[in-house]
Amino acid sequence: MIARPLQSGPNAKPLRPVRRLYALLAPRAYSVIMFAALFCTLAVKFFHAWRIGLVNEYLGWVSADISVLLGIEVILALFCFRLASRWVIRTACICAAVVCTWSVMNAGWLIRTGTQILPTILLPLFRDPINALCMIGVNLAKTPTAAVILLGPSAVALVFFFSVLAKPLPPHYNQKRFAGRIAASVLLILIAVLGRSTSTNRGSLQIISEGLRYNCQLRAVTSLFFSDSAHLANPNLSDAKRKVPGFDNIRIAISPKHHRVNLNVVLVVLEGIQYRYTSLYDKQSNLTPHLASLAEQGVEFTNARSSITHTTKVLFSLLTGHFPSVSQDIAETVPVKKRYAGLPTILKQGANFRTAFFQSAKGNFEARPGLVYNLGFDKFWAREDLNNTDAFLGYLGCDEFAMLEPIVEWIKADDNRPFFLTLMLSVTHDPYVVPRWFAAPAKASLTRYQQTIAYTDKFLSALDAELAKLSLTDKTIFCVIGDHGEAFGEHGLLGHERIPFDENLRIPFCLREPSLIQPKTTVTEPVSSVDLAPTLLALLGFDTSNAGFDGTNALGQIPDDRKVYFSGWLSQSPAGFVKANRKFIYYPANKFVLSKFIPGAAEAVDGTVSVYDLNTDPLELSPTEPSEQQNREIADDILTWRRDTIFPLGSKRTGKKTLFDTWQCRWNNRVASVKYRPNLSRVRSRDLKN
């Protein structure tokens, strides 16, 4: 028997307002949930259109949502009308709840990044749930109003949903009213389909907004089953033939034109610092005075860009001179049998260098010890080694000044050999927290971000001072480079994923060595993350001309027709290249035949290319579009480069390994994870004594 709704009448007890409302809504719970999904979607898209000044685009953004979500509601209503039973109602409610849940998730992602969510974005949640949930919690805490607006009604809806599942109430139909409601819904769907406007203004904001013209639920489904040409399928990974050279596959000798330069190298990698927020770009800015002074004392590369906007991938580029696997994984962290050829291994073999990698972030974030091990470093130090939780900052980093003491100790441990020291600074990573001794935390996200940039510059000054105390300033190449930038709404987008513009791609890059580099040198040609390794090796006297690097010596002759490739990390990210003063961006699009009939599916095209003249349009606001033939050729070039970067792993599909005595690493296919096990070193020491 199906439970009957609560009745009211002269013999019935008075119903409280909540129970009366429940009795009204529960019989058509699936419709209530679907209209909640529609309202959530319409509201968040209006908010985003308002905050980026594209309210005139709003109707084009939501017509697909109206037609798709109303269409689903009509199907569920007809389903329940024709086959009314307890389990049919429950099934309809579950379907509606899935759709609504995706709408809420999409709303949160749209508020945070300015883009609609795709299933691939959820992969880190399954690969590294603890760190992923920490990031989600921090972002909810940063936007409490949005969190309450999204999560408050969601909690109420959840209680309502489970109540209906436990005791569904059958709807009582008035057939004429029901038919009229269905007809009205179908009419609205047709109006939405026919009224789906096309954008006439093709500025950057309008190009980005194209991704908002699709219904997020339908696009999520099509992205899973009808992949676009830019999406890397399993065969692209399993059939990959590229070979990244191991440490013994590359021999780089000292150039006969140079004598060996007996110098140390200190490399500082900055996390997510937008170039335009540094004093390198804005000479009137006082955010990074020490960084500006380093550039004054040496060379600045004013046109440097990240190869791929993801830290793990960029570190591989920086330290090997080769492109990483441009795939949505962290394959570079899976321990390999033979360590990769790069700065650590080449300097150890060719010049007897000591090597160490220090970072202020916790080591289990994206299995960093695995990457550092593969790159051939002797020592790895992370936040876990600090043994002082008072110095922790947020869920990820620590007070970077706490690294100075262990860094100095390591440098002093052996003064008979040159050293290569890499530092990865992470205070500028979300959630943008600085120590209390430096400044009181600001409220606005951008202000907090600028605080972390100023703090990082202060640390660079302190590190430089420590080198001076050790009398190493004139004996050390001091290099500072960014991994990628960060967007704060410049093109209606936030963060650093799926953003192909220079607020995300352009990076600070400068180095100092008084005996080799003339002060105030400037390199204006386009250079890339992959150029760092060959540039530093050339400075040290190595001949890199036949080493097979993907990068080039950025202090040498750079060809005018060189293409500086770049990509996002997510599988459906834009990609492209910079050539001279022109930038070419490829935007992937789902190929789905039903797009001709169902609004909300992506257009049946291979994707579009936009071209920017960076001399006349440095803010990338006015793109031009190539001809159809040129579009196809440029897209093929970019996609071929991206696929050619994929490399297979030589290690077993699954396994485990102890790294740097204190890290237990496990991996499955192209994803690794690590756990800090300080007792491992003590056990190993005891075993050696015995």
Domain of residue 361, CATH code: 3.40.720.10
119-128, 154-163, 228-237, 611-620: range with lowest mean pLDDT: 228-237
pLDDT of residue 592: 40
Segment (H or E) for 586: strand 582-587
pLDDT of residue 152: 84
| Backbone dihedral angles phi then psi of residue 229, each to the nearest 5 degrees | -70, -20
pLDDT of residue 590: 46
Residue 586 belongs to a domain: no
216 shares its domain with 302: no
pLDDT digits (tens, 9 = 90+) for 22-39: 778 888 888 999 999 999
State whether residue 213 is helix, strand or coil.
coil
User: Domain boundary at 552, 583, 611, which?
Assistant: 552
273 shares its domain with 187: no
pLDDT of residue 149: 80
80 pLDDT band (50/70/90 cuts)?
A: confident
CA atoms within a 13 Å half-sphere pointing along the CA-CB vector of 412: 11
Residue 48 belongs to a domain: yes
Angle between helices 86-113 and 216-225 (to 10 degrees): 90
| Backbone dihedral angles phi then psi of residue 240, each to the nearest 5 degrees | -60, 140
269-283, 488-502, 518-532, 619-633: range with lowest mean pLDDT: 488-502
301 shares its domain with 418: yes
74 shares its domain with 125: yes
Residue 471 belongs to a domain: yes
Per-chain mean pLDDT for the chain: 85
276 shares its domain with 159: no
pLDDT of residue 388: 85
pLDDT of residue 181: 86
Residue 219: is its pLDDT beyond 90?
A: no
**Alpha carbon distance 665, 656 (integer Å):** 5
Q: What's the alpha-carbon Rg for the chain, to the nearest Å?
A: 28
221 shares its domain with 274: no
Residue 212: is its pLDDT beyond 70?
A: yes
**Alpha carbon distance 440, 448 (integer Å):** 10
336 shares its domain with 266: yes
pLDDT of residue 241: 81
The listed range with the strongest mean pLDDT (212-216, 293-297, 557-561) is 293-297
Q: Of 41 and 595, which is predicted with more confidence?
A: 41
Residue 573: is its pLDDT beyond 50?
A: yes
pLDDT of residue 432: 93
**Alpha carbon distance 313, 306 (integer Å):** 10
pLDDT of residue 176: 85
Q: How many domains does the chain have?
A: 3
Do β-strands 582-587 and 575-579 pair in parallel, antiparallel, or remain unpaired? antiparallel
Residue 3: is its pLDDT beyond 50?
A: no
Instruction: For Cα atoms 579, 581, 584, give the angle at the middle one, nearest 5 degrees.
Output: 50
96 shares its domain with 156: yes
220 shares its domain with 266: no
419 shares its domain with 339: yes
Residue 454 belongs to a domain: yes
Residue 633 belongs to a domain: no
Residue 94: is its pLDDT beyond 60?
A: yes
**Alpha carbon distance 437, 432 (integer Å):** 15
**Alpha carbon distance 304, 532 (integer Å):** 10
Q: State the residue range of the domain holding 311.
A: 262-552
CA 186 remoteness from chain centre: 40
Residue range 86-100: mean pLDDT, rounded: 91
304 shares its domain with 208: no
Residue range 11-31: mean pLDDT, rounded: 74
Residue 649 belongs to a domain: no
Residue range 632-642: mean pLDDT, rounded: 93
pLDDT of residue 529: 97
266-280, 465-479, 535-549: range with lowest mean pLDDT: 535-549
**Alpha carbon distance 462, 309 (integer Å):** 28
β-pair partners for 355: 420
Residue 13: is its pLDDT beyond 80?
A: no
Instruction: For Cα atoms 635, 638, 644, give the angle at the middle one, nearest 5 degrees.
Output: 135
Residue range 225-229: mean pLDDT, rounded: 54
**Alpha carbon distance 263, 417 (integer Å):** 10
User: Domain boundary at 530, 552, 574, which?
Assistant: 552
pLDDT of residue 659: 95
**Alpha carbon distance 487, 489 (integer Å):** 6
Q: Is the peptide bond before 431 cis (omega within 30 degrees of 0)?
A: yes
| Backbone dihedral angles phi then psi of residue 533, each to the nearest 5 degrees | -60, -50
pTM of the model: 0.87
pLDDT of residue 596: 36
Spatial CA neighbour of 359 closest among 402, 316, 418, 319: 402
78-87, 251-260, 318-327, 681-690: range with lowest mean pLDDT: 681-690
Q: Of 465 and 247, which is predicted with more confidence?
A: 465
Residue 250: is its pLDDT beyond 80?
A: no
Residue 281: is its pLDDT beyond 70?
A: yes
Residue 162: is its pLDDT beyond 90?
A: no
Instruction: Tell me which DSSP letter residue 27 carries.
Output: G
Residue 240 belongs to a domain: no
> Is 516 in contact with 297 (CB distance < 8 Å)?
no
Residue 450 belongs to a domain: yes
183 shares its domain with 286: no
pLDDT of residue 98: 93
The listed range with the strongest mean pLDDT (9-18, 104-113, 267-276) is 267-276
pLDDT digits (tens, 9 = 90+) for 470-517: 999 999 999 999 999 999 988 888 888 888 999 999 999 999 998 889
pLDDT of residue 26: 82
Residue 621 one-letter amino acid: L
User: Domain boundary at 552, 568, 584, which?
Assistant: 552
> Is 274 in contact with 429 (CB distance < 8 Å)?
no
Residue 8: is its pLDDT beyond 50?
A: no
605 pLDDT band (50/70/90 cuts)?
A: very low
Percent of the chain with pLDDT over 90: 52
**Which residue in the block uniquely carries the two structure tokens 């190539």?**
626
Residue 419: is its pLDDT beyond 80?
A: yes
Residue 690: is its pLDDT beyond 50?
A: no
> Is 517 in contact with 511 (CB distance < 8 Å)?
yes
226-240, 308-322, 403-417: range with lowest mean pLDDT: 226-240
